[in-house]
Amino acid sequence: MKKTILLMAAIALMPALAMGQQAGRIVVSEGEKHATEGAEIQRTVKLAKAPTDVVTVKVMSSDEERLYVKTGAVMTFTAEDWDTPQTAVFEAVDDYTCNGDAHLQIIYFSTSKDKNFSECKRTEPVTVADNDLAAVSLTPNPLNLNKNTKNGFVFVRLKAQPTTGVQVVLRSNNPGITIAEPVVEFNTVNWNVVHKVPVALTGEVSALEELVITAETSSEAEAYNGISAQSGIRLVGTEAEIERKIEADRQKAAELAAQQEADGKKGKAEKPKSPEQLKKEQAKQKAAAKKAAEKKRAEAKKAAEKRKKEAAKKKAAAKKKR
C-alpha cells in the first residue's frame, strides 16, 4: 500500500519536475523585481549547456500595456555562443493613469530542433509600481471672497487620469456660503479639464471665522474613492477689513494688558533693598575681598621662601664640587 502511494505521488510530481528542468535550461540573471512607471530593468539570458541545433528564445511580458520588451525580444543561440549572455531591456510604461500597481510575469520561451530546448518555458514575477497619485486640485487656496460683491470662484480638476468616472462633491463649513455647483463629474477623458464653480456669500458670515471648502470624491476606482482636498476662504472687502482691524486692535490691547500685568508682578517680586540690607551686603563683600587678598599674600610669601631654599641648595652643591 505504501509503495502504491509513493508511486502515485511521484507520478503527480513528474510534470512539475519536468517544468523545473526545462526552466533550468534557460539561465536568467538576477535583477530588480520592482520597476516604477517610466523606469527600465534588464536581464541577461544564456543557455545552461551547448545545444545541438540553433535555439531561439522569445522574451515576453504577461502585460505589454504595463511592461514591454524594449530590446532583446528575440535571442538566437548556437553551439558556439550558447554561454554568451544576451541582454533584454524592459520598460515600465508610464501611462499617466491612476490604475494601481501591476503584478505580472516576464516569460522566456525557447524553440529548437534540439529536444532539450524544444518549448522550454521560464517565468519570473515583476511588479510595476504606479507613479500617478490620485488627488483633487482645488484652487485658489485661500479663495478671496469679497464681502461687498459677495461672489467668487473655485477651480476643480483631477491630478491623475482615473480608470473610470469620479464624482467630486463640494461643501462649505458655513451655511452662509453657497456653492452653485456642488457636484462635479469627471471621467477618463475630461479628468484634467478645469471646472469653474461659482461660490457666493448668501448669509451672515464673520471675517474672523475659519472658513473652508471641502472636495470629497467617490468612484468605483479604488484609488479615487474617498479622497479629499480643502481650500480656505478669506473674506475681503471694506466690512471684512474693518472686522479684522477691530479684532487686531482688541488682541493688541489684550496683549499689552497682559504684559503690564506681568511687569507689575515682576516689580512686586523684586522689591528695593533697605539701607541696612545694602550696608550688610557691602560689609560682606569687603570682608570677602580682604580674605582673598590675605590668601594671595600668603601664597606669594610661601613661593618666595621656596625659591630661596632652592637657590641655597644649588649654591651648596656648587661649592661642594669645587
**pLDDT reported for residue 237:** 84
Mean pLDDT value across residues 166-181: 95
Tell me the pLDDT band of 290, cut-offs 50, 70 and 90: confident
**pLDDT reported for residue 7:** 36
DSSP 258-290: HHHHHHHHHHHHSPPPPHHHHHHHHHHHHHHHH
Cα-based distances in Å from 52 to 20, 25, 28, 49, 136:
21, 13, 20, 10, 61
115 C-beta neighbours (distance < 10 Å), count: 10
Q: Contact at 8 Å (CB) between 119 and 110?
A: yes
Q: How far is the first Cα of the chain from the last one, in angstroms, to the nearest whole number?
A: 120
**pLDDT reported for residue 21:** 54
149 C-beta neighbours (distance < 10 Å), count: 11
228: nearest Cα among 239, 241, 240, 213:
213
Mean pLDDT value across residues 104-124: 95
97 domain-assigned: yes
* pLDDT of 10 over the 60 cut: no
Q: Contact at 8 Å (CB) between 90 and 72?
A: no
- Choice between 219 and 287, residue whose per-residue pLDDT is larger: 219
**pLDDT reported for residue 317:** 73
92 C-beta neighbours (distance < 10 Å), count: 24
Last-in-domain residue among 113, 129, 145:
129
Instruction: List the domain range (segments joined by +) for residue 142.
Output: 136-236
Tell me the pLDDT band of 158, cut-offs 50, 70 and 90: very high
* pLDDT of 208 over the 50 cut: yes
Tell me the pLDDT band of 282, cut-offs 50, 70 and 90: confident
Are 111 and 181 found together in one domain?
Answer: no
- pLDDT for 59-81, tens place per residue? 999 999 999 999 999 999 999 99
Are 110 and 182 found together in one domain?
Answer: no
Mean pLDDT value across residues 81-91: 97
Last-in-domain residue among 129, 151, 180:
129
* pLDDT of 14 over the 80 cut: no
Are 118 and 141 found together in one domain?
Answer: no
123 domain-assigned: yes
Q: For the whole model, what pTM was predicted?
A: 0.58
Q: Contact at 8 Å (CB) between 89 and 71?
A: yes
**pLDDT reported for residue 322:** 61
- pLDDT for 17-35, tens place per residue? 344 456 679 999 999 999 9
- Residue 88's domain is classified under what CATH number? 2.60.40.1080
If phi > 0 it is left, if psi is from -120 to 50 it is alpha, else beta; for residue 204 that is beta
Tell me the pLDDT band of 2, cut-offs 50, 70 and 90: very low
**pLDDT reported for residue 271:** 62
**pLDDT reported for residue 269:** 57
Q: Pull the grid cell for residue 39.
A: 523606469
* pLDDT of 9 over the 70 cut: no
Are 210 and 145 found together in one domain?
Answer: yes
Mean of the per-residue pLDDT values of the chain? 85
53 domain-assigned: yes
How many structural domains is the chain composed of?
Answer: 2
**pLDDT reported for residue 267:** 59
Are 52 and 92 found together in one domain?
Answer: yes
